Amino acid sequence: MAGPLQRRRERERLERLARDFAVNAPNSATAGTGAEPEAQATYSTAYQAGMREEMIRDATIFVLGTDLYDRGGHFSQVKGLGPEFGADRVRDTPISEAAMVAAGVGAAMNGTRPVVDLNFIDFSYGAMDELVNQAAKVRYMWNRPVPLVVRATAGVAQGGAQHNNSLQSWFMGTPGLAVVFPSRPWDVKGLLKSALRGHDPVVFLMHKLLTGARGPVGGEDDVVPIGSARIVRPGRDVTLATYGYGVVLAEKAAAAVSGEGIDVEVIDLRTLAPLDVDTVAASVRRTGRALVLDEAPAVAGPAAEIAAAISDAAFWYLDQPVTRLTGRHSPIPHSPALIAGLLPDEAATVDALRRLARASGPEVAAS
Amino acid sequence: MTATSTTLPLPDVASADLREWLSTMVLVRTFEEAADGLALRGKIPGGMHPAIGQEAVAVGAARALRSGDIVTGTHRSHHHALAKGMSPAGVLAELYGKAGGSNGGRGGSMHLADFDLGLWGSNGIVGGGLGIALGAALGAEVLGSEQISLGFFGDGGANTGRVWEFTNLAAIWSLPLVIVCENNLYAVETISERVTGGGDITARAAGFGLPAHQIDGQDVVAVHRAVRDAAEQARSGGGPTFLEVRTYRYKGHDSGQVIRYRTEDEVQRWRTSRDPIENFTARLTDAGVLTADEMSTIVEQARRMVDAAVAFAEESPWPDPCSAAENVSAWNASPGTSR
Ligand SMILES: Cc1ncc(C[n+]2csc(CCOP(=O)(O)OP(=O)(O)O)c2C)c(N)n1
């Protein structure tokens, strides 16, 4: 039993997380408008809740991976579902990533809906063939659906060079895979529902630093379409397109520069493949300036694709070249001091926004 | 581990069925000889891998399964596809890359599939097909169906890590899977016994705690019996079986390959004393199940079917290039924005 002191510490810890990571409530246009406050959850419990609701709705959904039944996965992402649904629906596997994904691919082709939980996306390298050569190509080669979800935690946190790979660009570059990367509990649950109701493989990435982020979650049928971006904060001067933990930085930076008269429109892409270019381009046509914020390395990373898509779709509306603020082309080191040297942070985002908003003519924003 | 001799009695199978096995083997051989020639004439984009000499493996295995059961193949899979019932015309047009191909020209030789027939794809990735069979077996178990699956891979595949990950998972979860190593002694130009640690694939498999047997792959009856037993065990909840089926390919790894890694003598020895079609023909004839007339009919029918397949493939139109990027993923067509 937790004593009063532990309970208070836990409450304080959660409040701290909420302060650090809180993401805005859904846009008022579509948010629950009743007097009832919307249900709150963390990023991780939103995933659990989404899995539970969908597992109840569809008996063919099951999850497999290491350390799931008791431990609930390394991020408690399926905590409690093991005892609740039994060992056939929350299946513990040996550490055999190729076998896990292969089992998921074949089972999906056979009419079930497996979720393969890799815990860390870095481990997908051991199953790259099963994901990229098999899952992603089955519909194309054979017109057979593969309703497979491969969930993993992604994004840079602690853990060194082999637990912090930004693999989203690899999967974005794979025809046949959808790649989602939610930034808040609402989208975790809503995108999971889309993934589990679709017919094609989805790589479902969740940022480690957002694990405890709190926010409202939708009900059983609040489905977030894959391929739909969200305007987090409307603005007139600069479009800031980002995803995952970038949304947290973007909101803070946008708030910081708003006092200087820079009105930033923040867009959470939510899905990297397919990209919602329409929403981003429409925004850039209004603002004339675009910053793409991404912690993945710059070279051939998601930001490169997003920047190119903006140039293609809104070039004549741009007052400045599209600016990219990204991670450096480097593996991730151990020391927090070194990590800080590689990744965009709030200050760098503020700086990039200021330069971009004030630049005019040939005076190039990024230097 | 058991080595099975070629002197087993004929199985308790209707004579007409035994003749059908033979005709399918003859069809495969005729098809493969023709396809090999067509590949050499540049008719088959990218070339292809003939399985001439390995007919008994495919037919013995496919006839030991029910029609709803699943088979996944390797990059060398025309024999698996034809044994599972794909039409020679559809297969050959697919090899040509024509619209009339079984997969509309999308797949080709290494990606033949017909899900209605239970052929869940030949696979261009060594060992990859076994993974799909493993997953299909898991799916069948989750759905509580009676379906089982059989995954082929080669002796080359036996040195990939994934094959053993799959075998382990099938073993610990007791999945309804028949794991078949089609050991034709060579992986491209590599003599498998020189690169296989411990030298014995069956012994390796036995280490995973599942029944593992070595089978004479030139004997369709031996293959049939082994797969039938394994299938029965899988279907009744007894879990997977590993079969190493020893066979031999007469041709090079792919059509037109210049062979320096084995002697012509060796090939002749297999061809003259161990040919699966000749041996089975002799046994059926000896047992009074097959007459010389019936045999000529079988050969003629096969030739006619393959001639028709060639005509079909030649005449079939090319697929529409505008459709080349279609049907990649339903998400590509997913709606724009929401909240
Ligand atoms: C993962 C992978 N590595 C390499 C290849 C290239 N390759 C194609 S077939 C083959 C040899 C396979 O030998 P085996 O498994 O014994 O099958 P066989 O050709 O004898 O039927 C190789 C190396 C491949 N297709 N896939």
Give rounded-to-5 percent helix, strand, coil for chain A: 40, 20, 40
Residue with tokens 């590599």: B190
Does B143 sit within 8 Å of A98, measured CB to CB? no
Res A22: pLDDT: 37
DSSP-derived secondary structure letter, A135: G
* Cα(A229)–Cα(B334) distance, integer angstroms: 12
DSSP-derived secondary structure letter, A185: H
Q: What is the token pair recorded at A298?
A: 């710059």
CA of A176 to the centre of ligand 1 (A): 25
- Nearest residue in chain A measured CA to CA from B163: A99
Res A2: pLDDT: 44
* Cα(A346)–Cα(A350) distance, integer angstroms: 6
- Chain A residues within an 8 Å CB radius of B329: 136, 139, 175-178, 200-201
The yes-or-no verdict on residue A25 having pLDDT over 60 is no
Identity of the residue in B134, B335, B337 whose CB atom sits nearest the CB atom of A106 = B134
The yes-or-no verdict on residue A60 having pLDDT over 60 is yes
The residue whose CA has the least distance to atom 20 of ligand 1 is: B187
Residue with tokens 């290039």: B321
ipTM above 0.85, yes or no: yes
Chain A: closest CA distance from residue B144 (Å): 11
Which of B52, B57, B75, B125 most suits a substitution to test ligand 1, by most atoms within 8 Å of the C-beta?
B75
A163, A199, A207, A329: which is the annotated catalytic residue?
Answer: A163
Is A133's Cβ below 8 Å from some Cβ in B? Answer: yes
Does A225 sit within 8 Å of B339, measured CB to CB? no
* Cα(A283)–Cα(B179) distance, integer angstroms: 55
Residue with tokens 């490169």: A304
Is A148's Cβ below 8 Å from some Cβ in B? Answer: no
- Chain A residues within an 8 Å CB radius of B142: 60, 62, 88, 107, 112
- Mean predicted confidence (pLDDT) in A62-77: 96
Do you find a cis peptide bond into A4, omega within 30 degrees of 0? no
Whether pTM > 0.90 for this model: the answer is yes
Which stretch of A239-243, A316-320, B173-177, B331-335 has the lowest confidence by average pLDDT? Answer: B331-335
* Cα(A207)–Cα(A340) distance, integer angstroms: 17
Q: How far is CA A8 from CA A75, A76, B90, in A?
A: 22, 21, 70
- Chain A residues within an 8 Å CB radius of B328: 139-140, 175-176
Res A31: pLDDT: 40
- Chain A residues within an 8 Å CB radius of B134: 99, 102-103, 106
Res A37: pLDDT: 56
Res A21: pLDDT: 37
Cross-strand bridge partners of residue B297: none
The residue whose CA has the least distance to atom 3 of ligand 1 is: B126
CB atoms within 10 A of CB B261: 13
Res A253: pLDDT: 98
- Mean predicted confidence (pLDDT) in A236-263: 98
The three-state secondary structure class of A106 is helix
Which residue ranges have their beta carbon within 6 Å of ligand 1?
B 74-76, 124-126, 154-157, 184, 186-188, 253
Res B4: pLDDT: 41
More confident residue, B301 or B2: B301
CA of B124 to the centre of ligand 1 (A): 8
Which strands, in side-by-side order, build the sheet including A323-327?
A230-233, A264-268, A238-242, A290-297, A323-327
Does B162 sit within 8 Å of A102, measured CB to CB? yes
Q: In what helix (H) or strand (E) does residue B78 lie, and over which residues does it extend?
A: helix B78-83
Q: What is the largest CA-CA distance in chain A?
A: 65
CA of B62 to the centre of ligand 1 (A): 22
The residue whose CA has the least distance to atom 25 of ligand 1 is: B125
Chain B: closest CA distance from residue A340 (Å): 33
Res B1: pLDDT: 38
Identity of the residue in A112, A199, A276 whose CB atom sits nearest the CB atom of B330 = A199
Q: What is the token pair recorded at A107?
A: 């089972």
Question: Confidence class of residue A362 from pLDDT cuts 50, 70 and 90?
Answer: low
Res A360: pLDDT: 82
- Share the mean pLDDT of chain A: 90
Residue with tokens 């094609």: A200
A207 a catalytic residue: no
- Mean predicted confidence (pLDDT) in B272-279: 97
Does A108 sit within 8 Å of B128, measured CB to CB? no
Q: What is the largest CA-CA distance in chain B?
A: 76
Closest of B69, B317, B316 to residue B177, by C-alpha: B69
The yes-or-no verdict on residue B290 having pLDDT over 60 is yes
DSSP per-residue string spanning B101-163: STTTTSS-GGG--BGGGTB----SSTTHHHHHHHHHHHHHHHHT-S--EEEEEETTGGGSHHH
Which stretch of A11-20, A354-363, B272-281 has the lowest confidence by average pLDDT? Answer: A11-20
Closest of B239, B219, B176 to residue B7, by C-alpha: B219
- Chain B residues within an 8 Å CB radius of A228: 334-338
| Per-residue model confidence as pLDDT tens digits over A321-359 | 999 999 999 999 999 999 999 999 999 999 999 999 998
The yes-or-no verdict on residue A258 having pLDDT over 80 is yes
Question: Confidence class of residue A238 from pLDDT cuts 50, 70 and 90?
Answer: very high
C-beta separation of A70 from A82 below 8 A? yes
Q: In what helix (H) or strand (E) does residue B282 lie, and over which residues does it extend?
A: helix B276-286
The yes-or-no verdict on residue B184 having pLDDT over 70 is yes
Is A106's Cβ below 8 Å from some Cβ in B? Answer: yes
Res B280: pLDDT: 98
- Chain B residues within an 8 Å CB radius of A184: none
Question: Confidence class of residue B9 from pLDDT cuts 50, 70 and 90?
Answer: confident
Chain A: closest CA distance from residue B84 (Å): 16
Res B68: pLDDT: 93
**Would you call A103 exposed, middle or buried from its count of C-beta atoms within 10 A (0-12, 13-18, 19+)?**
buried
Does A62 sit within 8 Å of B142, measured CB to CB? yes
Chain A: closest CA distance from residue B97 (Å): 12
Question: Confidence class of residue B22 from pLDDT cuts 50, 70 and 90?
Answer: very high
Res A34: pLDDT: 44
For chain B, give the number of residues: 339
Which of B126, B191, B249 most suits a substitution to test ligand 1, by most atoms within 8 Å of the C-beta?
B126
* Cα(A174)–Cα(A179) distance, integer angstroms: 10
Which of B188, B249, B262 most suits a substitution to test ligand 1, by most atoms within 8 Å of the C-beta?
B188
